[in-house]
Amino acid sequence: MPKIIDESLIIKATISAIFSSVVGTLLILLYLSLGKANAPGIEVLSFIFTYVLMATTSIIGTMVGSLLIGLPLLMIAQRFCPDAYVKGSLFIVCSTLFIWLVVLAWPVTRIFETHYSDILLLSPYAFCSAIALTYQVYWN
């Protein structure tokens, strides 16, 4: 019986999730800290603590998202565009952003009654995960 999912794909999706958790958290904290002008000593310690807390908690969520969304897109891209680096990369990145910003974000805004702009704060996770996944598959 042939294997459906290759172990190397799961490892690549996990690595991209960890990378996107670290980078996405940094981008969100930088965005949130631009509007604050407090004492620099206290600000640095709270920034580091908040970064570590957000990065460690977002690893689980981003890993699940990368395995549920990124892995099927990766298998589809490798099936239809095995040698086309640009087409496969664009397919993974655009499909991930479409799924995140359109398919998943609208129900979240309706269920939790949040603004769409609050959901956009989490889009660096999806974008960084998609970029890291395409880099590992096509360009590495």
pLDDT in tens, 36-91: 655 555 566 777 777 777 777 777 777 777 777 877 887 888 788 777 777 777 88
Tokens describing residue 56:
């460690």
User: Across the chain, what does the average pLDDT equal?
Assistant: 75
Q: How many helices (H) and strands (E) does the chain have?
A: 7, 0
Residue 140 in this model has a pLDDT that exceeds 80: no
Residue 2 in this model has a pLDDT that exceeds 70: no
With cut-offs at 50, 70 and 90, classify the pLDDT of residue 11.
Answer: confident
Q: Is 140 helix (H, G, I), strand (E, B) or coil?
A: coil
| 8 A C-beta contact, residue 79 and residue 65 | no
Tokens describing residue 10:
């799961």
pLDDT for residue 36 = 60
Nearest to 59 by CA among 26, 103, 25: 25
The Cα 15–Cα 120 span in angstroms is 23
139 or 110: whose pLDDT is higher?
A: 110
Nearest to 121 by CA among 109, 107, 133, 103: 109
Q: Is 38 helix (H, G, I), strand (E, B) or coil?
A: coil
Quote the percentage of the chain above a pLDDT of 70.
Answer: 83
With cut-offs at 50, 70 and 90, classify the pLDDT of residue 102.
Answer: confident
With cut-offs at 50, 70 and 90, classify the pLDDT of residue 136.
Answer: confident
Q: What angle do CA 11, 99, 92 make, to 5 degrees?
A: 50
The Cα 123–Cα 106 span in angstroms is 13
